[in-house]
Structure formats: structure tokens, C-alpha cells
Amino acid sequence: MANLSANLLLIAFILYLVAIPFFGGAIRQKKGLDETKSFAKWAKIGIVITIIGFLAQLGFFITRWIVAGHAPLSNLFEYTTFFGMCLVAAFILIYFIYKTSILGMFVLPIALLIIAYASMFPREISPLIPALQSHWLQVHVSTVALGEAILAVSFGAALIYLVKAIDHTKRSKSTIWLEVIMYSIVSVVGFIAVTSTFAITDYQASYSYIDKNGAESQMDYTMPAVIGPNEWQAIEDGTFEPWIQVPGIINAKKLNTVVWSLAAGLILYIVLRLILRKTIGAALQPLTKNIKLDLVDEISYRSVLIGFPVFTLGGLVFAMIWAQIAWTRFWGWDPKEVWALITWLFYAAFLHLRLAKGWHGEKSAWLAVIGFAIIMFNLIAVNLVIAGLHSYAG
């Protein structure tokens, strides 16, 4: 059953990858084809393949649940793959409402990167710790993932808007920040590449260190330790010596992975720029030639309008109920709780600015991009680097 589960995830990943070119074929059809009235041939094939891939990933989720005996949402691999599945589900729903093929060209690659990112983490099925042995695990975590996934669709639509609307022939703050976004996406590819490379070489290094409680512990690295733990000592002679050490409140191993990923992403980004001889945003702009800006602006806004209340339920209401049950307090200023509040406040401000101040178009698109950056910071930095009651860093 465990092998079946893993194979279903792989099948889903491949199908999502295969679907992307079909959506690309749909947007390259002759100008004048109105997709709101009839499905384009290539888009039909693309969405069918995507749905089959989603069903395969749903099968992965169900079979893993059967094997584990509990909802597979208890570690970073399980949560992130579920987040990717919710993103695909949200894309399918919104696609059937608006029938905009280019959304598949931007949203599905994001889902693929999220699933590939998840696959770099340990996949072992472990028994739930006592704090997680509650039906609130699936209620709280699944609702958070679904809300964030719908908000991620808003980011995909906003990215399409910016790629089309920005004048890439002139150097401006908009073009610079758009390239920062592209570099961030490439850095996820860098993470996958560098993690896979060191996994193939079977790199291992161990250090003893003093943790945040003052006790001596051991940390095992799977890539050279540029960032080392607090008061580290190499356990074996000849081990790579860290350049920087960080206090115990920060997970040095995970921060080291982030540094390697950003460095690999920078190399990949430079290579892409040399090949394209233009910014990545400018290279993508021809894909948006026949897209109506008002349409993608509406998709971005509607996604926030749907995703925000879902996230409110999962990230605040259900979270506080479970916190009261598990820790006898509704709120404790844990890093994950604080960042969930920041996310909620930001999207509340997004809707206020949109509805009360008339922030449409490019302003609204940038807000959607910043919102997704906040979500990803929560997923990556808060989960991996800052140890807390909620994080997967400890």
C-alpha cells in the first residue's frame, strides 16, 4: 500500500507536467477564439489530464491515510503535498468558472514546485505525538492548506497581470521586483537540484552543539554546513567546518539548506538570463498577448475573496479552539501563530484597499504577490528555521 501511495504521487506529478504544454497550446491558438463560450481543443486535453492527475494525488492522500491510520498532515512532506493538491483543486475549480488557459501555464508550475519541494523532505510514516492525536489535526490543518491554496491562485493570476502590464523595455522598480519574484521561483528549483545532488552523493556530517535549553545535542547534515549550530564540534575528523554559527533558537541545519538553495537559485537564474538574453518576465510576456487584464485582475480578486474566509476559519478560529484544547490557552505568541495573524491581517488589508480605496489592477496584483510571499515565508522560514510549538524545525 505504501508503494502504491508513492507511485500515485509520482503519476500525479508527471500528469501535471504533461498538462502544462497543452495549456500552452491553447493560448497559442488563433486570436479571436473566445474561451468563455467554448473550450479550446488543447485546453480540454490539458484540463482532463490535470483532473486525472488530481485524482491520482487524491488516491495518494487516501492510501497514505489508510497506511498511517491518521490524516497525513503531521509532517512537512505530508502538509506540503496536501497544499499542492489543494492548489490544483482550486485551479480546476476556478478554471471551470473562467476558462482561462494561461492560468494553467502559471499555476500548475507553482503546484509542481510545491510538490517537488515536499519530496525533498523525509517521507517516513511516523506515529502521531500525543499533542497531534486529535480530530482537530485534519480540521485545522486541512482548512489552512485549502485557504492558502486558493490564495495561491490569486498569486498566479496576479503574476500573469504583472508580466503583461509591466513595460519590460524600461528599467523600473516594477521590472526589478518582478525579477526578484522570478529569482525566488528559480530558487525553489535550486533547492530541489542541490538537495537531490547531495542525496545522490550520500553526503553526511555530524556535529555536537549546545541547544537552546543549554543541553548538548547532535545535528546531522546532508549537505556541507556553511551555517553551523551553536558552539558546534565536528564529531568526525576532516568534516567540513561551518563558516557561521547561529544561536539555538534557529535551526542551523534548515537555515543551511535555505542558504544553499538561494545560492543554487542564483546560479540557475544567471544561466537562464544568459540563455534568454532578457529578463524572465520579458521572456514570458508573449504568452500573455491575448489575455485581458481585467479578467486576470478579477480572478486574482475573486480568489482572495474565497480564500480569505477559508483561511480565517482554519488559521484563526479552528487553530484557537485546538490551542485551547491542547495547551489550555487560545493564544501564545508562538512564531506560527504570529505569522498566521500577520497573513490574516494582510489579506484583510488587501480586501479593504480593494473595496474601500479602489486598488485595482497593478496595485492589487502586487498585493496578491506580497500575500503569497508571506504564505511561503510561513511555509519555509517559520517551519524550517524558527523552532516553535507548531514548526517542523525542532
Tell me the pLDDT tens digit for each residue of 55-97.
999 999 999 988 888 888 878 888 899 999 999 999 999 998 8
Are residue 117 and residue 188 in the same domain, yes or no?
no
- Per-residue confidence (pLDDT) for residue 363, from 0 to 100: 92
CA distance linking residue 195 with residue 193, whole number of Å? 6
Are residue 17 and residue 110 in the same domain, yes or no?
yes
Instruction: Determine the length of the chain.
Output: 394
Q: At which of 244, 277, 310 does a domain end? A: 277
Place of cell 556535529: 207
The per-residue pLDDT for range 131-155, each reduced to its tens digit, is: 666 777 788 888 999 999 999 999 9
Listed in order, strand segments (DSSP E) in the chain are 205-210, 216-221, 227-228, 233-234, 244-245
* Domain annotation covers residue 390: no
Are residue 17 and residue 157 in the same domain, yes or no?
yes
* Domain annotation covers residue 148: yes
CA distance linking residue 224 with residue 218, whole number of Å? 16
Are residue 36 and residue 102 in the same domain, yes or no?
yes
Which backbone phi and psi does 205 adopt, to 5 degrees? -150, 140
Are residue 241 and residue 378 in the same domain, yes or no?
no
* Domain annotation covers residue 243: yes
pLDDT-above-70 percentage for the chain = 91
Are residue 50 and residue 126 in the same domain, yes or no?
yes
* Domain annotation covers residue 226: yes
Grid cell listed for 216? 548538548
Domain extent, residue 337, equals 2-170+292-384
- Per-residue confidence (pLDDT) for residue 394, from 0 to 100: 43
Are residue 41 and residue 10 in the same domain, yes or no?
yes
* Domain annotation covers residue 102: yes
Grid cell listed for 109? 508550475
Q: At which of 242, 277, 312 does a domain end? A: 277
- Under 8 Å between Cβ of 316 and 340: yes
Are residue 11 and residue 147 in the same domain, yes or no?
yes
* Domain annotation covers residue 285: no
Mapping DSSP to helix (H, G, I), strand (E, B) and coil, where does residue 250 land? strand
Most confident of 96-100, 108-112, 120-124, 126-130: 108-112
Are residue 157 and residue 12 in the same domain, yes or no?
yes
Grid cell listed for 147? 485557504
The per-residue pLDDT for range 275-330, each reduced to its tens digit, is: 999 999 999 888 888 888 999 999 999 999 999 999 999 888 888 887 787 667 77
* Helix, strand, coil shares, percent, the chain, to 5: 70, 5, 25
Q: How far is CA 26 from CA 20, 21, 30, 156, in A?
A: 10, 9, 9, 18
Grid cell listed for 364? 492589487
Are residue 137 and residue 24 in the same domain, yes or no?
yes
CA distance linking residue 382 with residue 388, whole number of Å? 8
Number of domains, the chain = 2
CA distance linking residue 62 with residue 97, whole number of Å? 27
Are residue 147 and residue 179 in the same domain, yes or no?
no
Q: What is the mean pLDDT of the chain?
A: 85
DSSP code for 74 = S
Question: What are the residues facing 162 on neighbouring strands?
Answer: none
- Under 8 Å between Cβ of 91 and 107: yes
* Domain annotation covers residue 103: yes
Nearest to 70 by CA among 139, 149, 121, 147: 139
